[in-house]
Amino acid sequence: MGKTCCQECEVLVTVGDRQRIAEQTGREDFWEHKAPDNPAYLDQDDDPNWLKWAFRPDGTRPVLKRHSSGDCGFLGPEGCVLSLEIRPIVCRLFPYTYTERGIDGVSDACPKEVIPPGSTILQVLDMRREDADRWHAQLYAELRTGTSCDENRAYLRSA
Ligand code: SF4
């Protein structure tokens, strides 16, 4: 089977994500500022505020730490060890695709083997559109007002 998003994605964590996860796990060491390994994360022409809000001037952004295998630090034998409402918002939204304007599609990146004939990945994951819309609004509110990287906001204010 191909790798899943939990084994190869670079997961952005907002300030809110970091607070929620820290409260549940009692840990603070699960994230780091890091430049993307995959340059595709910099291709945000259709979502210009994403770059402004997610990245620091030095090109890094706050992401979950991963093992050398690429696996997310919160990936356990049975899947994600975080409860749904505590997971980083970008994880909750996957496989929906979106910009600041709203949800605009569904990614085809999930391994085809996990989708039974006649089903969709949204049905397999039991994803409800109303949840996704709520999380999308939460994500951009946290990016816009809480900021994912306070240093970047300070830089932009002084620029
Ligand atoms: S936090 Fe959970 S859902 Fe998100 S990448 Fe890690 S293991 Fe997967």
Residues sharing a CB contact under 8 Å with residue 58, sequence separation 6 or more, in sequence order? 35
Q: For position 5, what pLDDT does the model report?
A: 85
One-letter amino acid at 112 equals K
pLDDT digit string, tens, across residues 47-63: 989 988 999 989 999 99
**CB of residue 80 inside a 6 A radius of ligand 1:** yes
Residue 113 is predicted with a pLDDT of: 79
Reported as a single tens digit per residue, the pLDDT across 26-37 is 999 999 999 999
**Alpha carbon nearest to ligand 1 atom 4, residue:** 91
The pLDDT tens digits of the residues spanning 65-109 come to 999 999 999 999 999 999 999 999 999 999 999 999 999 999 887
Question: Hey, what are 65's tokens?
Answer: 């730490």
**Index of the ligand 1 atom closest to the CA of residue 79:** 7
Q: What is the reported pTM? A: 0.87
* C-beta of residue 66 within 8 angstroms of C-beta of residue 72: yes
Does ligand 1 lie within 6 Å of residue 72's CB atom?
yes
